């Protein structure tokens, strides 16, 4: 048996990071979102908003980081590993901003496959902005649609995570992951 790889995705501000932290607190293996680190690294280089100033470079760095996470997860043989976003998220965001998607990005999505994908819908009651999250709630809803379309176009059946407390959402994911 190999590593079971499960993505938790959704637009900005849907509670993904909180949910991933809850799974970590419960002792599960989770690989955290890397975009914030890419953004912080760019800021150290004097680039305030890499996603806005050079979206292709930003996407390339994300794709590389997510590929690396995917393959590094194999060290957890016979275990379940949760990912805060997957490779198709990169394509969904590129589609959202209207960037052309390079062929190697598409090939990457074909070659990297996850066992399950959970998606969190936009939830206005918990949505907040911060220094790394500059999208409006309306944009978050549009990003959600791009995520759904991108994952479906790569033959994933998305599992909707219902609104609820972080404990209820974590319980739902764990129950559905054992199916």
Domain range summary for the chain, segments of one domain joined by +? 4-177
Tell me how far apart the alpha carbons of residues 88 and 80 are, in angstroms, rounded to a whole number.
19
84-111 pLDDT, tens digit each: 999 999 999 999 989 899 999 999 999 9
Tell me how far apart the alpha carbons of residues 157 and 174 are, in angstroms, rounded to a whole number.
17
Q: Among candidates 49, 59, 33, 57, which has minimal Cα distance to 120? A: 33
3-state secondary structure string across the chain = CCCEEEEEEECCCCCHHHHHHHHHHCCCEEECCCHHHHHHHHHHCCCCCHHHHCHHHHHHHHHHHHHHHHHHHHHCCCCEEEEECCHHHHHHHHHHHCCCCCHHHHHHHHHCCCCEEEEECCCHHHCCCCCCCCCCHHHHHHHHHHHHHHHHHCCCCEEEECCCCHHHHHHHHHHHHCC
More confidently predicted of 133 and 69: 69
7-36 pLDDT, tens digit each: 999 998 899 989 999 999 999 999 988 887
Domain 4-177: which topology? Rossmann fold (3.40.50)
Binned at pLDDT 50, 70 and 90, residue 58 comes out as confident
Q: What is the mean pLDDT of residues 68-95?
A: 94
């Amino acid at each position: 048996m190999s590593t079971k790889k499960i993505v938790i995705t959704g637009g900005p501000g849907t509670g993904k990071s909180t949910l991933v932290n809850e799974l970590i607190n419960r002792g599960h293996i989770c690989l955290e979102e890397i975009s914030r680190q890419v953004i912080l690294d760019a800021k150290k280089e004097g680039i305030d908003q890499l996603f806005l100033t050079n979206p292709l470079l930003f996407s390339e760095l994300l794709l590389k980081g997510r590929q690396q996470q995917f393959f590094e997860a194999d060290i957890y043989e016979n275990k379940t590993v949760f990912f805060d976003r997957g490779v198709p998220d990169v394509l969904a965001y590129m589609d959202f901003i209207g960037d052309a998607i390079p062929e190697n990005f598409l090939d990457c999505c074909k070659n990297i496959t996850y066992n399950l994908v959970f998606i969190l819908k936009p939830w206005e009651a918990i949505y907040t902005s911060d220094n790394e999250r500059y999208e409006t709630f309306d944009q978050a809803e549009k990003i959600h649609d791009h995520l759904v379309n991108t994952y479906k176009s790569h033959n994933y059946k998305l599992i909707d995570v219902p609104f609820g407390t972080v404990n209820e959402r974590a319980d739902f994911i764990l129950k559905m992951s054992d199916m």
